[in-house]
Amino acid sequence: MGLLVSAWVARYLGPSQYGELAYVLSVVVFFQVLSQLGLDGIAIRDMARDREAASAILGTVFRLRIITGFFCWLGAVGLMALFRPGDSSTLLLTAIVAGSLVFQAADTVDLWFQSQTQSKRTVLAKTISYLLNSLFKISLILSNAPLLYFAIAGLAEIAMSAIALYVSYGRFPAPVKWAWDIGWGKRLLKESWPYMLSGLAITIYMRIDQIMLREMLGTHELGIFSAALPFSTTWYFIPMMIAQSTGASIAKKKQSDRAGYERAIDRLFSLMWWIMLPLCIAIALLSVPIIKLLYGEAYSESSNVLAVHCFANIPIALGVMQGIWIVNERKNMLSLALTVIGAITNIGLNFFMIPKYGALGVAAATVASHCVSVFSTVVFAPQIFRRQFLSLLWFK
């Protein structure tokens, strides 16, 4: 649904307007990472191990995120005013899109569901809100609505999702009412800040290329690049789905069955290789008809971008599974080091590739930087690097 609706929106808006919306989203997403505070994996792990602490953890995380979300909204609007002085339309788009940063504090409910292996409740809540919002976007297209209304649609989706999560939580609540606990706040933030910086670094090398492309070559070229992203990145849900479904059980297994824990990590790596590698090859071979069918001739240049960019799915999937191991081994500084290396690589490659190759150069830089980030474990954690590659040789 997301792929089809986003393709329809892209066709309706055209490369330039679609590129402008993608530019605003790319700026706001940096503040989205900051507003999450890197708490997800830690909160899920601790609630899976101690169910009675869930209420204090949830209450603390929610309050931290809603306060941070408000300040991040101010930061996003202020930064855009600095980037684009006098551009009132872009500033208004940013103010609307960034409103989601406050509503996303409701995703704290999802941490509880994940810790209890109840992700289906989040899926149901978000699917309902997404379907309603997709119908809204289709109505905007059919009524020839301006770009601003599509930004409002994005904010409405997050708001509806927050309401749906609240209703779903009422049917499967934590044992005790949520409560703020300063002790848990200090403990969580002390461990989470490297993950927050790591998430920010990941966002840099996943989004900074779009900002650089917009500033160096304009919104049209950014629209060509952004059109390839929905079909290329939609497959990220596979490793995320598996990680969310297995994270809590692996955290428990780490405490009681070390051999079983190690086998589970190996199986996850193997599964990612043997799902993503055939998938990426198929997408690359079919990139031309895919783009022509979804977007039309105006986006024909996007087919080459898709054929290259789709291969980023492999290191990203391996990186998600690597993240499960990092959280359980409490190697938070390793996560930070790997993502900073990836971000630096991406920025450096973009400065070289964008002037020469445009959107295609950005796609190549994205794949290369993800590979550098994930496989830098050859230096920092050779034991996990060996397991990542050995898992390719056979399917466990």
Q: Give the model confidence (pLDDT) of 69-100 as tens digits.
A: 888 888 888 888 887 777 788 888 888 888 88
Instruction: Specify whether 59 is located in the same domain as 118.
Output: yes
Does a structural domain hold residue 139?
Answer: yes
If you average pLDDT over residues 336-341, what whole number do you get? 81
Domain boundary among 135, 163, 180: 180
Provide the pLDDT for residue 14. Answer: 78
Same domain membership, residue 334 and residue 240: yes
Specify whether 372 is located in the same domain as 258.
yes
Instruction: Report the domain count for the chain.
Output: 2
Residues 250 and 141 both lie in one domain: no
284 & 225 share domain: yes
Domain boundary among 134, 158, 180: 180
Average pLDDT, stretch 145-172?
79
Report the pLDDT value the prediction gives residue 301, as an integer from 0 to 100. Answer: 80
Sign of CA dihedral 237, 242, 243, 244: positive
Q: Is 218 helix (H, G, I), strand (E, B) or coil?
A: coil
Q: Kindly state whether residue 326 falls inside one of the protein's structural domains.
A: yes
Range of the domain at 152: 1-180
Identify whether residues 107 and 248 lie together within a single domain.
no
CA angle 388, 391, 394 (to 5 degrees): 165
Confidence (pLDDT) at 280: 92
Q: Across residues 39-55, what is the average pLDDT?
A: 70
CB 75 within 8 A of CB 5: no
pTM over 0.75: no
Q: Which residue has the tokens 């976007």?
A: 137
pLDDT in tens, 266-299: 888 888 898 999 999 999 999 888 888 877 777 8
CB contact set of 183 (below 8 Å; sequence gap of 6+): none
